[in-house]
Amino acid sequence: MKKKVVTRFAPSPTGYIHIGNVRSAIYPYLVARQAGGKFILRIEDTDRARYVEGATELIVETLKWLGLDWDEGPGVGGDNGPYFQTERTDIYYEWGKKLIASGRAYADTTPAEKIGEYREKAKAEGYPFLYRNYRPAETPEWEVGMPLRFKAEPKNYEYHDEVMGDLKMGEETQDDFILIKADGLPTYNFAHIIDDVTMDVTHVIRGQEYLPSMGNYLALYDALQIERPIFVHLPHILGPSGTKKLSKRDGAKSVTNYRDEGILPEAMLNFLACLGWNDGTEQEIFTKEDLIEKFRLDRIQRASARFDEQKLVWLNGQWIRKLFVENPEELHRRAHEFWDEYAKDTTDERKNIIMSIIYDRLKTLADLRGMTRYFFVDPEVDLDMLLQNKFLKKMSEEELQNLLQAAVKKLETVEDWTPENIRTALNELLIETKTKPPVLFSPIRIALSFAPFSPALPETMEVLSKEVVLARLNAVIRALSNER
């Protein structure tokens, strides 16, 4: 009988989840959902020196935001708990004792200085340091509080990795590594294997930084006589330069930073899933459902993918449009917190109208702040912006002033201030003034917004109100005449 697919995300609560590591959550999630299996969240908190208060909460928040729900783990429970490694020590002791009983583990009380000397000696003699060459002849009976070491019996191993292919691990990759530390907590090397087997994990999906340790892991599966899971080691994600691993320094922010900058979770999930994976077509926009359906482990690229924030921002713009078309209320709801201070007295209805004329220019929801200011406060008149405009450069200030005056006169006649009526008036004005559209519309647009761009004029004007439009045009006319 085929085993039920069980995958896990097993982060260590040592800080925020660096964006380069989130694929280690997304891919196992997709594999589990596609197979109708189970996705487990396990918190690997045994490294107390690197433990960061609040990091687990941040992990939970990140996964929830991305829509990666788990079937077992913190907040959910399950039959294979606890899901924090520090609460599972009895399980590790039990398995440690099995290894002692079969002669494959020993208590080691060798002082750290001594081990340091061995390391120095190996270095001086030009050998790679392997503790098994210095294994103590006599060892005490193990009890909690003493380091417990694996007893290596080096072999040549072969194994298959779904991404990296067929690999070999030679004898030199296996050593007497620590299973349980003096503080009574297991090492990652030991704990993850025990957890994976006791949680029936079928696929171990994680970063390639664990590849060099595979010799020790294979030896442990062997010594414990447990079946190996399917291995999936993900290539690194490279920084924007494409030459080195993405690090916090080149912008490996936390996922929640991006959320706060107005990236949609759908866009983030889409972007990260496609870093080093594609479905073999040109498709770029994938919903979570698409990903669950189309994801294939064998299409993960072996080469490292480059992190390109521009691509993320582009995708986010696509997602904002998609969401507006499919579910505008949802977009309004999410945009809520991104409006600036000056919008605080504006009704939701008016904000929604502004959103509906501006959404297709937004790359992030945070763009709302800079891009909609002129809807709420009169912009400062900046004549240079007007006079330097590429369509207006050849015009004199007098010509510009006349044009704006003609616009004021025309717009004053519009009784019912609707986009249709405004559009008609502007089109009549084009004919009457015998100008080309950019020459007429650019100065009006600039006078109303003094922003690098703004949505279609009639719609913008409607939202601003007739009174504000006329007042802003007149302010510019005045500024131009003061200038002359």
- Structure tokens that stand for 423 in this block: 């559009």
Q: CB 484: neighbour CB atoms within 10 A? A: 8
Q: Does 459 bind ligand GLU (CB under 6 A)?
A: no
Shorter beta-carbon distance to ligand GLU: residue 49 or 101: 49
Q: Which helix (H) or strand (E) holds 7?
A: strand 6-9
Q: Does 12 bind ligand GLU (CB under 6 A)?
A: yes
Peptide bond into 13 cis (omega under 30): no
Q: Which range of residues in 8-16, 92-100, 233-241, 416-424 is near ligand GLU by CB under 6 A?
A: 8-16
Helices (H), 261-360: 265-273, 288-294, 309-326, 328-335, 348-358
- d(CA 157, CA 62) in angstroms, rounded, equals 37
Question: Is 151 noted as a catalytic residue in this protein?
Answer: no
E strand residue ranges, 58-202: 105-107, 148-150, 157-161, 165-169, 178-180
- Structure tokens that stand for 157 in this block: 């191993």
Q: Does 88 bind ligand GLU (CB under 6 A)?
A: no
The site map against ligand GLU for 25-64 (x = CB under 6 A) is: -------------------x--------------------
> Which strands, in side-by-side order, build the sheet including 105-107?
105-107, 148-150, 178-180
Nearest distance from residue 17's CB to ligand GLU, in Å? Answer: 9
Q: Which range of residues in 5-13, 229-237, 288-296, 311-319 is near ligand GLU by CB under 6 A?
A: 5-13
Q: Does 7 bind ligand GLU (CB under 6 A)?
A: no
Q: Does 294 bind ligand GLU (CB under 6 A)?
A: no
Q: Does 11 bind ligand GLU (CB under 6 A)?
A: yes
**Do β-strands 305-306 and 237-238 pair in parallel, antiparallel, or remain unpaired?**
parallel
Nearest distance from residue 132's CB to ligand GLU, in Å? Answer: 24
First to last CA, the chain: 89
Shorter beta-carbon distance to ligand GLU: residue 11 or 262: 11
The residue from 248, 288, 344, 434 that is catalytic is 248
Shorter beta-carbon distance to ligand GLU: residue 118 or 188: 188
Nearest distance from residue 192's CB to ligand GLU, in Å? Answer: 5
- Residue 473 near residue 464, CB atoms below 8 Å: no
Q: Does 265 bind ligand GLU (CB under 6 A)?
A: no
Q: Is 430 exposed, middle or buried (0-12, 13-18, 19+ CB in 10 A)?
A: middle
Q: Which range of residues in 7-15, 107-115, 129-137, 408-416 is near ligand GLU by CB under 6 A?
A: 7-15
Nearest distance from residue 342's CB to ligand GLU, in Å? Answer: 43
Query: Among 5, 6, 7, 10, which residue sits at the site for ligand GLU (rule: CB under 6 A)?
Result: 10
Q: Which helix (H) or strand (E) holds 397?
A: helix 397-412
Q: Does 191 bind ligand GLU (CB under 6 A)?
A: no
Q: Which range of residues in 9-17, 171-179, 213-221, 345-353 is near ligand GLU by CB under 6 A?
A: 9-17
Would residue 10 be called left, alpha or beta, if left means φ above 0 and alpha means ψ between -120 and 50 degrees?
A: beta
Q: CB 94: neighbour CB atoms within 10 A? A: 11
- Structure tokens that stand for 438 in this block: 């950019």
Nearest distance from residue 95's CB to ligand GLU, in Å? Answer: 17
Which positions touch ligand GLU (CB under 6 A)?
A: 10-12, 24, 44, 188, 192, 206
As annotated, the active-site residues are 248
